[in-house]
Amino acid sequence: MKILVAEDEPVSRRLIEKALKQANYEVVAVENGRLAVEQLCQPQGPRLALLDWVMPELDGPGVCGVVRRQRQQPYVYMILLSSKESKQDIVTGLESGADDYLVKPFDPEELRARLRTGLRVLQLEDKLVEAREDMRFKATHDPLTLLFNRGVILDLLARELARTRRQKGCTTLLLGDLDHFKEVNDTYGHVVGDEVLREVARRLVGAVRSYDFVGRYGGEEFLVVLNNCEAGAALIRAEEIREAIAGRPVKTTRGLLPVTMSLGALTSQFVADKTVEEILQLADLALYEAKAAGRNCVKVANPSVSAATPDCSVR
């Protein structure tokens, strides 16, 4: 664990640094409060700190106050070191943002014990942050494919369309459906079907740019949002994605399985007056046309055609 020691007196600083290194800490030593703030507010800065109360440029309580205001995550555990020992001094130090207080001269064993307490606090904080992020991920991602779930991908689509309209840009929407996927489940079982879905999701993510969006729309349907993609490039990009799926069979526990995808494509520059629901209906109609045309192909939506409910038996 990296620890900061801020102490303006050179001899004391070296003694503390030596004791901490013997306890296997990685020590960053500075001689004033300004340098302490610079170190602690770095993204990968120390998360444990020993701060002398009286220092040039900025004292220990001042460092605590600045760090608490500027660095929210991850948490920094700070211990003030001082010869002051009145209750009012202790209250002042703790209210500045310090987590603990140690009166000089201190016993090295007591210092190590207080640092172990700080480590336990930081470990608990890390576990809470990890649990929070895990809950957030589960709430926004499909558990099987790990893609954005339906609610999130639709929200991202709506936001991207709104941004595109403001900036007079263009977004391309691809609605893809795996061909004959029911036969995969019926012939090989749902475990193999899940293997296929996971591999298709991986290929979709690999076929788009880092700032595009990919989500599981439902079942074997996927929604791809290509940001800043105009009509001239839409068909080319869609064919690249189709080929990424169909180009080689999927390796499963039951052997290699050929997998293809039909896609309906739509570019936003032709549907500026339509709602997200209407745009999705047009993309779905284009997908239906791709299915009717023999599958494993891309069809571009015609905004002048009224969206109708496709015959799902064609899927």
Helices marked H in the chain: 10-22, 33-40, 60-70, 87-95, 108-140, 150-167, 181-188, 190-207, 231-246, 276-292
Buried b / exposed e along 58-90 (16+ C-beta atoms within 10 A): bbbbbbbbbbeeebeeebbbbbbbbeeeeeebb
Pair of tokens at residue 295 = 């599958």
Residue with tokens 């890390």: 126
How many Cβ atoms are within 10 Å of 214's Cβ, its own excluded?
23
The type of residue at 22 is Q
Active-site residue numbers?
Answer: 220
